[in-house]
């Protein structure tokens, strides 16, 4: 496999960020009594604005306890320093800008320095220097989700709600303390919390009770996702889809069909896309089309990693044999296949990650010290191999 060789320069980056805003605020009058020009619309102090999305891969070498970024646009890798809880980390999660690496006792919080601000009718894209911000208590099975006000972390140690503005200023600060549950999703200016007992409650983003809850329950909650068509929580009997906003949140259950396969334990998808994929134990891959309200089961065999690109787009499955396959989610037909690694690497723990953005998929290969960039719209063509000088044991993609 041909590719570019990156040298990972271990330089510790720093720099706090001002909270993102879209107002064109005027400056204080100058000494001559004239007003200074107003700031450009959408400006964020300390960040550079770009005309298109800025993606970054954030990776952890768990044996060395080091954190790194790779910029696919420039093909540059950089070390972001070391963090105590990165050593032996087992799980990586992201909320779009911030990455979290959990060792089962705490999670290291890293600002990737790449993010998107979506105002509905227009979008801003920003970059800044990445930096390690600190740690937060967390357990196994870490998951993350965010809106403009909070970042919600859910793990076996419970729920941690972090103040988003503080994170953007470089500080790890909790808010909405005291919430108990298995899953917490910021959605519709509320926090949707599902308890271990399956009860679904709704809170304000400061932790105050916002409603009597949602009538539908969600037994054995595990997988979660936020999409353009609603927030989704995986349950033992199907998927709970929450829609609406504020006091008008409502939910419906999409039950599993009678296929005999086990429930998903996690959902994977292109950010915001309303088609989700999750391994169905050793029985294949579940695909949930949130808009259509339908499940389908792909006969893909045991999977090391899965993800879905979106509506009328492929579902990607990295098999335990190391081969990446693309499937038509509507017909279940396999449309392409490409071997990326051997079975021993694909079956290692932690398993390789498979991330998807608008044009490419990325798969990490710790055994080869490499990340593979795949064009999933071109028969899984291997576009580039990022050859690294560290082991990319864990990987997430940010900038969305």
The backbone torsions φ and ψ at residue 160, rounded to the nearest 5 degrees and listed phi first, read -130, 125
Closest-CA residue to 318 (of 365, 259, 262) = 365
d(CA 118, CA 332): 33
pLDDT for the residue numbered 9: 34
- Omega of the bond prior to 97 within 30 degrees of 0, cis? no
pLDDT for the residue numbered 87: 65
Structure tokens at 93: 């999660």
Instruction: Write down how long the chain is.
Output: 400
Per-residue pLDDT of the chain (400 residues; tens, 9 = 90+): 434 433 333 333 333 333 333 443 333 333 334 444 445 555 677 899 999 999 999 999 999 999 999 999 999 999 998 766 556 788 999 999 999 999 878 999 999 999 999 888 899 999 999 999 999 999 889 999 999 999 999 999 999 999 999 999 999 999 998 899 999 999 999 999 999 999 999 999 999 988 777 999 999 999 999 999 999 999 999 999 999 999 899 999 999 998 889 999 999 999 999 999 999 988 899 999 999 999 999 999 999 999 999 999 999 999 999 999 999 988 999 999 999 999 999 999 999 999 999 999 999 999 999 999 999 999 999 999 999 999 999 999 999 9
**Is there a contact between 99 and 90 (Cβ–Cβ < 8 Å)?**
no
pLDDT for the residue numbered 307: 98
The backbone torsions φ and ψ at residue 98, rounded to the nearest 5 degrees and listed phi first, read -95, 140
81 conformational bin, left if phi > 0, alpha if psi -120 to 50, beta if neither: left
Q: What separation in angstroms does the CA of 328 have from each of 204, 311, 353?
A: 40, 10, 21
pLDDT for the residue numbered 177: 86
CATH topology of domain 257-400: Methylamine Dehydrogenase; Chain H (2.130.10)
d(CA 228, CA 185): 14
* Residue whose token pair is 């001002």: 18
pLDDT for the residue numbered 45: 76
d(CA 183, CA 346): 28
Provide the edge-to-edge strand list for the sheet that holds 294-298: 275-279, 285-289, 294-298
The strand pair at 238-243 and 9-10 is best described as unpaired
pLDDT for the residue numbered 282: 85
Query: Domain coordinates of the chain in residue numbers?
Result: 1-14+46-138, 257-400
pLDDT for the residue numbered 39: 52
């Amino acid at each position: 496999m041909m590719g570019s060789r990156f040298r990972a320069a271990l330089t510790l980056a720093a720099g706090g960020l001002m909270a993102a805003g879209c107002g064109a605020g005027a400056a204080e009058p100058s000494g001559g009594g004239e007003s200074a020009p107003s700031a450009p619309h959408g400006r964020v102090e300390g960040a550079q604005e770009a005309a298109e999305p800025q993606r970054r891969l954030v990776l952890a070498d768990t044996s060395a306890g080091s954190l790194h970024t790779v910029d696919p646009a420039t093909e540059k890798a950089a070390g972001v320093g070391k963090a105590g809880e990165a050593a032996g980390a087992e799980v990586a999660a992201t909320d779009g800008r911030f990455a979290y690496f959990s060792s089962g006792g705490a999670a290291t919080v890293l600002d990737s320095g790449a993010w998107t601000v979506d105002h509905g009718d227009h979008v801003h894209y920003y970059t800044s220097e990445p930096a390690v911000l600190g740690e937060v208590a967390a357990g196994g099975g870490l998951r993350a989700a965010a809106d403009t006000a909070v970042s919600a972390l859910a793990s076996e140690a419970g729920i941690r709600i972090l103040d988003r503005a503080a994170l953007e200023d470089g500080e790890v600060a909790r808010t909405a303390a005291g919430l108990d549950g298995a899953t917490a999703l910021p959605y519709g200016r509320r926090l949707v919390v599902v308890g271990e007992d399956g009860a679904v409650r709704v809170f304000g983003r400061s932790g105050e009770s916002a409603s009597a809850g949602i009538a539908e329950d969600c037994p054995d909650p595990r997988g979660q996702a936020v999409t353009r068509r609603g927030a989704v929580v995986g349950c033992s009997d199907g998927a709970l889809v929450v829609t609406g906003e504020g006091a008008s949140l409502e939910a419906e259950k999409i039950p599993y069909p009678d296929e005999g396969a086990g429930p998903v334990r996690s959902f994977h998808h292109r950010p915001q896309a309303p088609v989700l994929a999750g391994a169905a134990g050793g029985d294949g891959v579940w695909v949930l089309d949130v808009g259509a309200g339908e499940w389908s089961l792909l006969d893909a065999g045991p999977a090391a990693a899965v993800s879905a690109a979106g509506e009328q787009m492929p579902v990607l499955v990295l098999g335990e044999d190391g081969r990446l396959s693309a499937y038509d989610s509507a017909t279940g037909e396999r449309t392409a296949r490409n071997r990326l690694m051997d079975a021993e690497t694909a079956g290692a723990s932690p398993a390789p990650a498979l991330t998807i953005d608008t044009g490419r998929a990325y798969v990490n290969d710790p055994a080869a010290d490499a990340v593979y960039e795949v064009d999933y719209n071109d028969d899984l063509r291997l576009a580039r191999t990022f050859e690294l000088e560290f082991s990319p044991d864990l990987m997430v993609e940010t900038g969305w």
